[in-house]
């Protein structure tokens, strides 16, 4: 992964306020968020926002005075929705799904392996794997409504996520009848390989175009977009390494306690 | 031509909604221009303050239906400006609306001001005959 490439990649992700210095940042954020949630392309959003900025700069009016409510204006524009957004989402979620599968396998197998026992696969194991698959599928199929729910009703979304995690753990604990006994060592190795594959695929994707980045682009010739802050790089790092680090910690704890 | 009022009149919003597309097409027939300049010219023409929230979605629909073409150009010191130019299809639509609007306005004025001889007889008048 070349450093210069990453830098140009980060620099192409401007905040709304960079594109529209004459627009109230809160108005611009709400406007861009609504268009993002509707699946409008970054180029079309950038053009619409730059036109608002241009109008505000020349008329001296605040955005809310000239354009009214940002969400209503975003809807009124009727901008075309990107058709290939789902493909990008599958590409983006694929490596994370692999990593999560690796996380499950390694954490299941670590403790029995440490104790020299076999892994007793239970109905709870299968149920938690199914719960994970359902959640990932729901994210891909219902990406827009799910995202809108998380953004607009964050507290409710946190409750749903907590119930989902709690339910998965409860399934694991309650459904403890062994269905299948398998050697723990090979499962641990397979899990680690799946996890590594997920990380590799994600790193490969990042060295190319980020399928979800779809930066805001201003069509105006005079708008110079400054580079995005370093926080973006930290977020990318976190997205790649969060699941593997969690797996290392959980497996480490299992091995120490075992 | 009647004197323009000092302050911009508040036309009923549904009148404006109907008249705005023909008026914008007519102003664009004078040459390519950008959104803010259009609001100024609409106000000068006596249509009142047309808000950006009304004008730009309309321009977007004209663009989507191919009646205008757009280009970005540098503004004077400020951000860029999106210029809208009438296409051939836009000129045709304007000609169609000019003809139609004249006939429509005559009919509406006839009804409102009342020139009964020009109107078809009502049912009551038919019976009275």
Q: Give the residue carrying structure tokens 């990042």.
A: A206
Contact A222 B80 (CB under 8 A): yes
Q: Which chain B residue shows the shortest CA-CA distance from A70?
A: B53
Residues in chain A closer than 8 A to B81 (CB atoms): 54, 58, 220
A-B contacts at Cβ under 8 angstroms: 81
Residue of chain B nearest A73, judged by CA positions: B53
Residues sharing a CB contact under 8 Å with residue A95, sequence separation 6 or more, in sequence order: A198, A199, A201, A202, A205
Q: Is the pLDDT of residue A244 over 80?
A: yes
To the nearest whole Å, the CA of A36 is away from the closest chain B CA by 18
Q: Which residue, among A58, A74, A80, A221, would best test binding to B if mutated, counting the most B CBs under 10 Å from its CB? A: A58
Query: What percent of chain A lies above the pLDDT cut of 70?
Result: 81
Q: Do A220 and B72 touch (CB under 8 A)?
A: yes
**pLDDT single digits (tens) A42-56:** 888 999 999 999 999
The 10 Å CB-count burial string (b at 16+, else e) for A120-159 is bbbebbebbbebbeebbeebeeebeebbeeeeeeeeeeee
Q: Do A54 and B79 touch (CB under 8 A)?
A: yes
Grouped pLDDT means (10 residues each) for chain B, 129 residues: 54 89 96 95 92 94 95 78 95 95 91 70 67
- Select from B50, B79, B82, B83 the residue whose CB has the most chain A CBs within 10 Å, as the one to mutate to test that interface: B79
Say how many CA atoms lie within 13 Å of A66 toward its Cβ. Answer: 25
**Partner-chain contact A58 B73, CB within 8 Å:** no
Kindly tell me if the per-residue pLDDT of A36 is higher than 70.
yes
What distance in Å separates residue A72's CA from the closest CA in chain B?
A: 9
pLDDT at residue A64 in the model: 94
Arithmetic mean of pLDDT over chain A: 81
Task: Give the gap in angstroms from C-alpha A54 to the nearest C-alpha of chain B.
Answer: 5
- Top-confidence range, A70-79, A229-238, B8-17: A70-79
> pLDDT class for A148, splitting at 50, 70, 90?
confident
Mean per-residue pLDDT, A21-41: 89
For the stretch A245-256, pLDDT in tens is 888 888 888 888
Please give the sequence-ordered ranges of beta strands (E in DSSP) within A130-257, or none if there are none: 178-183
For residue B31, the 8-state DSSP code is: -
Which chain A residues touch B if contact means CB-CB below 8 Å?
Answer: 21-22, 47-48, 50-55, 57-59, 61, 66-68, 72-73, 76-79, 218-223
Are A112 and A205 in contact, with CB atoms under 8 Å apart? no
């Amino acid at each position: 992964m070349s450093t210069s490439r990453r830098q140009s990649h980060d620099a192409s992700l401007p905040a709304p306020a960079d594109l529209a210095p004459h627009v109230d940042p809160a108005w611009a954020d709400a406007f861009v968020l609504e268009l993002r949630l509707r699946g409008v392309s970054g180029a079309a959003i950038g053009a619409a926002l730059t036109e608002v900025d241009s109008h505000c700069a020349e008329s001296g009016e605040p955005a809310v005075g000239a354009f009214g409510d940002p969400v209503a204006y975003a809807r009124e524009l009727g901008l075309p929705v990107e058709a290939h957004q789902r493909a990008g989402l599958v590409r983006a979620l694929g490596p994370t799904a692999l990593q999560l599968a690796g996380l499950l396998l390694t954490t299941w197998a670590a403790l029995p392996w440490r104790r020299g026992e076999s892994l007793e696969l239970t109905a709870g194991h299968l149920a938690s794997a199914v719960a994970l698959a359902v959640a990932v599928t729901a994210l891909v199929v219902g990406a827009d409504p799910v995202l809108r729910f998380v953004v607009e009703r964050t507290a409710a979304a946190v409750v749903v996520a907590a119930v989902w995690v709690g339910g998965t753990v409860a399934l694991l604990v309650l459904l403890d009848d062994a269905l299948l006994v398998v050697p723990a060592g090979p499962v641990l190795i397979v899990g680690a390989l799946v996890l590594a594959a997920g990380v590799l695929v994600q790193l490969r994707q990042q060295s190319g175009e980020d399928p979800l980045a779809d930066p805001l682009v201003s069509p105006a010739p005079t708008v110079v977009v400054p580079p995005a802050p370093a926080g973006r790089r930290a977020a990318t790092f976190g997205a790649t390494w969060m699941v593997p680090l969690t797996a290392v910690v959980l497996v480490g704890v299992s091995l120490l306690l075992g | 031509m009647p004197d323009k009022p000092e302050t911009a009149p508040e036309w009923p919003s549904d009148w404006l909604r109907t008249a705005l597309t023909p008026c914008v097409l007519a102003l664009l027939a004078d040459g390519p221009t950008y959104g803010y300049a259009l609001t100024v010219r609409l106000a000068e023409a006596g249509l009142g303050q047309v808000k950006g929230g009304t004008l730009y979605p309309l321009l977007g629909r004209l663009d989507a239906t191919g009646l205008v073409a757009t280009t970005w150009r540098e503004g004077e010191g400020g951000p860029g400006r999106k210029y809208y130019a009438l296409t051939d299809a836009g000129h045709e639509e304007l000609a169609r609306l000019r003809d139609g609007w004249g006939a429509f306005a005559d009919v509406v004025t006839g009804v409102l001001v009342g020139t009964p001889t020009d109107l078809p007889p009502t049912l009551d008048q038919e019976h009275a005959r």
